[in-house]
Amino acid sequence: MVAYKNSLEFAKEKDKKDPLNPYRSKFHIPVINGIETIYFTGNSLGLQPKSTKEYIDKELEAWKNWGVEGHFEAEKPWFSYHEFLTEKAAKIVGAQPLEVVITHSLTTNLHLLMASFYQPTETRYKIICEKKAFPSDQYALESQAKFHGRKPEEAIIEVGPREGEHLIHEEDIIAAINEAGESLAMVMIGGVNYYTGQLFDMEKITKAGHNVGAFVGFDLAHAAGNVKLELHKWGVDFAAWCSYKYLNSSPGGVSGLFVHEKHAHNKELPRFAGWWGHDKETRFLMEPGFQPIPGAEGWQLSNAPVLGMAAHLASLDIFDEVGMDALIEKRKDLTNYLEFLINDISDRLGDACTFEIITPKNETQRGAQLSILAHGMGKPLFDAITKMGVIADWREPNVIRIAPVPLYNSFEDVYRFSECLEKAINQ
């Protein structure tokens, strides 16, 4: 166990020994009002890699020089541009290339996947999700239930924390799955809860769902690029994730979509089809009769949004160079140091300090994010650290989310944040 110290010297020494520290220089760190910010919102929008402009400019130049012929004549032909991202993205989520495609946006992909994997019948129609899921997931599930003629309050089972607690007991999720039994059609949960930062045991949940005959899928918006994922190994049926949080790929950037290999050749799965998901060999014959490409590519609708994909590729190349194992090792150390400093402040300030960390203490049950519940201090505390140059994230009713990202955040960032936090409390 690392013996952490609350000192600038300790933080700087950690940075000197950190093999990933040089990658910080590959990102643009925002400077606001002349101050280089302490940027801790990679869980909301990741920072821009300095290489992103080059990647996008290359496609703008191809568009200028080739016009429509860029689909085939560009250095990376637009016709198959998404294929340049597939293998790199698959590594991040623990999948085979056949099981992954980069396309559309997150909630669009979730709807397309649920069109295939939410197949309610008269007796099997229920959905299990976590309480206080991200609003987009809540709205998507409600609308899916309504689309199939079901009242959301009858179809959707929300599993929440126990009375007086903040985190969800995984045994309660498993119990809800078992209780629903043959009435359960689908489990769809956020792999990492956006509010508390709780990481769920997706392998265990998938097994439980399959045991009662349900499909199981995950929204990995807060998990992809943040935690260790083994979607293929775990047998997850479907998943989707955005690329703009931990994957640093532009505001509202393209999304990843996963469909397990066991479904790759099932043409009978219902789906909403589009021509880019149609068999590549006959796509341009423009004939009626949809023939899906085997694997995740068969869920594509339209041709690639190349500029957004270029931004994503710039980040994926960095991830591919570093590797998820190295990122996760540093993420644990960085987050543990943040936790140590917050607890140290709490211990020293006593009654003056009225906040608590509601993210799991166990490092295997969380990612980079720590959520601070600010009892009685709330928004004024958040506003105070913002004025000091900390870019964090506020979530109603009174949670400050802090997410030090291993690619571009340093131990010194974490230490300086703790200085700001203590100063704001004292004020």
DSSP assignments along 306-356, one per residue:
HHHHHHHHHHHHHHHHH-HHHHHHHHHHHHHHHHHHHHHHHHHHGGG--EE
Cβ 358 vs Cβ 56: under 8 Å:
no
The pLDDT tens digits for 237-289 are: 999 999 999 999 999 999 999 999 999 999 999 999 999 999 999 988 889 99
Instruction: Name the pLDDT band for 132 (thresholds 50, 70, 90).
Output: confident
Over residues 4-24, the mean pLDDT reads 97
Q: What is the mean pLDDT of residues 326-342?
A: 97
Residue 400 phi/psi, 5-degree rounding, is -105, 120
For range 393-400, the mean pLDDT: 88
Q: Is pLDDT above 80 for 309?
A: yes
Reported confidence tier of residue 426, pLDDT bands at 50, 70, 90: confident
Averaged over 191-218, what is the pLDDT? 97
Dist. CA 182–CA 178, nearest whole Å:
9
Residue-averaged pLDDT of the chain: 95
d(CA 339, CA 349): 15
Supply the pLDDT for residue 228: 97
Give residue 376's pLDDT. 67
Average pLDDT over residues 11-26: 98
Which pLDDT band, with edges at 50, 70 and 90, does 396 fall under?
Answer: confident
Give the pLDDT mean for 193-206.
97
Q: Please say if the pLDDT value at position 2 is more than 80.
A: no
**Do the domains at 8-36+323-426 and 55-322 have one common CATH topology?**
no
pLDDT attached to residue 378 = 73
pLDDT the model gives residue 224: 98
The residue-averaged pLDDT of 320-326 equals: 98
Whether residue 88 has pLDDT greater than 80: yes
pLDDT in tens, 28-63: 999 998 989 999 999 999 999 999 999 999 999 999
The mean-pLDDT minimum among 187-191, 348-352, 405-409 falls in: 348-352
Distance between alpha carbon 20 and the CA centroid of its chain, in Å?
21
Q: Name the range with the highest mean pLDDT among 175-179, 353-357, 419-423.
A: 175-179
Q: What is the mean pLDDT of residues 141-165?
A: 96
CATH superfamily, domain 8-36+323-426, is Aspartate Aminotransferase, domain 1 (3.90.1150.10)
DSSP conformation letters of 6-65: SSHHHHHHHHHH-TTGGGGGGBPPPEETTEE-EE-BTTTSPPPBTTHHHHHHHHHHHHHH
The highest-level CATH class for domain 55-322 is alpha beta
Where are the domains positioned within the chain?
Answer: 8-36+323-426, 55-322
pLDDT of residue 377: 72
What secondary structure letter does DSSP report for 74?
Answer: S
**Banded pLDDT at 353 (limits 50, 70, 90):** low
Q: Quick one: what percent of the chain has pLDDT higher than 90? A: 89
Q: Are 282 and 260 in contact (CB under 8 A)?
A: no
Task: Select from 156, 159, 222, 158 the least CA-distant residue to 190.
Answer: 222
Lowest mean pLDDT across 73-77, 131-135, 294-298, 416-420: 131-135
pLDDT the model gives residue 32: 92
